[in-house]
Amino acid sequence: QVQLVESGGGLVQAGGSLRLSCAASGLTFSSYVMGWFRRAPGKEREFVAAISWSGGSVYYADSVKGRFTISRDNAKNTVYLQMNSLKPEDTAVYYCAADLNKLTIRVLADLYDYWGQGTQVTVSS
């Protein structure tokens, strides 16, 4: 049974930082592109960042580029999202997801195979 479990969310002031983690089990972690998505209240789910199976390629949404950093540790079956210079508009539930493909990083949520339950990030102004 595949499980993706996010942690690290919370309440932070604007300008602050948080580090999200997503621990995976039940899958061959190094075979998957890993992504982070978010859903803000009243908005559609949106792509945030993704990382290739090896960690050699990363891709970010324009809204977080330069502020967020995605990384992974295949030995620990964990993907991370370091979020700096947080803004109130970053407030959302953040989800990690796994995409079984080694060819390319994809940003469409429907192409991802497995999802975590999400972790709330709230940025106060």
% of the chain residues with pLDDT over 90: 96
Band the pLDDT of 102: cuts 50, 70, 90: confident
Using pLDDT thresholds of 50, 70 and 90, give the confidence band for residue 85.
very high
Which of these, 118, 4, 9, 23, lies nearest to 72 by C-alpha position? 23
Q: What is the pLDDT of residues 18-64, one digit of tens each?
A: 999 999 999 999 999 999 999 999 999 999 999 999 999 999 999 99
Please say whether the dihedral angle defined by the alpha carbons of residues 91, 13, 86 and 49, taken in this order, is positive or negative.
negative
pLDDT of res. 103: 80
Rounded to 5 degrees, φ, ψ at 55 are 85, 0
Buried b (16+ CB within 10 A) or exposed e, 1-18: eeebebebbeebeeeeeb
